[in-house]
């Protein structure tokens, strides 16, 4: 039986162009997702500092995390070492005590474009800590002046040089009744 000669199939110019375009778009998407994941890790790192977060024992500053769902405010300092052993007198550290700040949660590097990313604090007392006079969180989020080197708006500009993403900062607002909880968002 005679064998057919194997001649390679040639792709049309249009097929080559489509494959090249897809490769460029995939590479661009990978680059932007890497920027996004780097940005998220940098924001969590900034929040985990004395310059942005209020610090008494360091538990609040250490409890920032990022995820794909809303961050639950449920952690109590008394249940986590070494913070449980740091003594306080009201809103002051007891003599000889020092705060301890260390990021408690690893930041996943799996965030994708067009997914909602939540960055929040897992402490039970997060709402009170955010309004502490020692807190610079709101100034950081608004990109305003504070003890930090760069606010969130400046960080967005630095990380996303090609195209600025749509980023909103949200917070819960409680009306006159606890049942009237609404989340309000501010575009940056």
- The verdict on residue 13 lying in a domain is no
Contact 139, 149 (CB under 8 A): no
Q: Write out the residue range of the structural domain in which residue 126 sits.
A: 20-187
Reported confidence tier of residue 163, pLDDT bands at 50, 70, 90: low
Q: Mean pLDDT for the chain?
A: 84
Q: Report how many domains make up the chain.
A: 1
pLDDT per residue as tens digits for the range 121-140:
999 999 999 989 999 998 88
- The verdict on residue 97 lying in a domain is yes
Residue 8 has pLDDT above 90, yes or no: no
Reported confidence tier of residue 167, pLDDT bands at 50, 70, 90: low
- The verdict on residue 133 lying in a domain is yes
Confidence (pLDDT) at 20: 79
Contact 74, 124 (CB under 8 A): yes
- The verdict on residue 4 lying in a domain is no
- Tokens 């708006």 belong to which residue? 153
Query: Residue 163 — φ and ψ, nearest 5°?
Result: -150, 125
Lowest mean pLDDT among 6-15, 34-43, 104-113, 156-165: 6-15
Sequence-separated (6 or more) residues with CB below 8 Å from residue 42: 155, 159
Residue 2 has pLDDT above 80, yes or no: no
Sequence-separated (6 or more) residues with CB below 8 Å from residue 158: 150
- The verdict on residue 11 lying in a domain is no
Exposed, middle or buried, 153 (CB in 10 Å: 0-12/13-18/19+)?
A: middle
Can you tell me the distance from the alpha carbon of 67 to that of 74, in angstroms, rounded to the nearest whole number?
A: 15
- The verdict on residue 67 lying in a domain is yes
Residue 102 has pLDDT above 70, yes or no: yes
CA distances (Å), 176 to each of 110, 127, 128, 170, 173, in order? Answer: 39, 16, 17, 19, 10
Query: What is the mean pLDDT of the segment spanning 49-54?
Result: 93
The structure's pTM equals: 0.79
């Amino acid at each position: 039986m005679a064998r057919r000669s194997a001649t390679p199939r040639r792709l049309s110019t249009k097929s080559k162009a489509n494959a090249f375009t897809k490769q460029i778009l995939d590479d661009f998407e990978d680059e932007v997702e890497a920027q996004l994941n780097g940005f998220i890790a940098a924001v969590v790192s900034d929040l985990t500092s004395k310059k942005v977060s209020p610090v008494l024992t360091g538990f609040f500053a250490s409890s920032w995390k990022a995820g794909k769902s809303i961050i639950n405010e449920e952690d109590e300092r008394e249940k986590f070492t070494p913070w449980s052993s740091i003594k306080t007198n009201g809103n002051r550290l007891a003599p000889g005590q020092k705060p301890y700040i260390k990021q408690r949660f690893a930041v996943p590097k799996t965030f994708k474009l067009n997914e909602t990313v939540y960055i929040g604090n897992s402490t039970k007392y997060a709402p009170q800590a955010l309004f502490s006079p020692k807190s610079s969180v709101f100034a950081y989020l608004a990109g305003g002046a504070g003890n930090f080197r760069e606010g969130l708006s400046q960080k967005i500009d630095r990380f996303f040089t090609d195209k600025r993403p749509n980023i909103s900062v949200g917070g819960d607002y409680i009306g006159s009744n606890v049942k009237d909880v609404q989340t309000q968002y501010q575009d940056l």
